Amino acid sequence: MRKRQKRLRDRVDAGRRLAALLSDHQSESDTIVLGLPRGGVPVAAAIASALDLPLDVLVVRKLGVPGYEEVAFGAIASGGIEVLNHNVMMSARMDDESINRVRTEQTAELRRREATYRGDRPPLDVLGKTVIVVDDGTATGATMRAAVEALRTAEPASVIVAVGVAPPDTVRSLERSADQVVSVLTPSDFSAVGVWYDNFTQTTDEEVVAALS
């Protein structure tokens, strides 16, 4: 019988264990840490604290095809970043009006979340930087892939994905998008992110704001 992988105590534990795996980036002046809200931010905060790196939040909103919202034709992210999949747009026969309507709706939601989390502070500049993008875990990697694709348009030097837990096939998929993928746990019997945490209570907006401040 395969030995079950050791569990994570909580998101801070995940961050500290990820920091140990990313210790080569300790105090690097050209490296920043970005947490995906909400659960990724406390993990990212623990990494940034352990490695003495700047911390920020990366709000990502997928742009879904109207009526088939699970199918993304693009994504937007903090800092005015946008990436579009023109093949999906053509296949869905989307016109400019429907594209702009979805973009406007999701931009408003992104700005609302940014205002909640960051206030009037501008996002950190990722141009030419090594960017560590963090989440507490991922099942399919869809949101993280959107985050990486969006970040690429801002021309960072490299993008590192760091997660607490992810199944092996998702890690392999993310490795095709990111320059490096680090996961504390990669269980083949993955069922859900929360299963691998002793404490996986929902992260609140207030906790995100506190971590970023």
Q: Which of 189, 182, 208 is nearest to 17 (CA)?
A: 182
Q: What per-residue confidence (pLDDT) applies to 1?
A: 28
pTM: 0.87
DSSP letter for each residue of 117-185: HHTTPPPPP-TT-EEEEEES--SS-HHHHHHHHHHHTT--SEEEEEEEE--HHHHHHHHTTSSEEEEEE
Mean pLDDT of 1-23: 84
**Cα distance between residue 51 and residue 144, in whole Å:** 22
What pLDDT shows up at residue 75? 85
Statement: residue 165 has pLDDT above 80 = yes
For the chain, give the percent of residues with pLDDT over 90.
66
For the stretch 50-107, pLDDT in tens is 999 999 999 988 898 998 887 888 888 887 888 888 888 998 899 999 999 999 999 9
pLDDT of residue 5: 60
- What confidence tens digit (pLDDT) does each residue in 106-147 have? 999 998 988 899 888 888 899 999 999 999 999 888 889 889
Q: Whose structure tokens read 């604290």?
A: 49
Looking at the predicted structure, is the pLDDT value of residue 200 above 80?
yes
In the chain, what are the domains?
A: 11-59+123-212 (3.40.50.2020), 60-118 (3.30.1310)
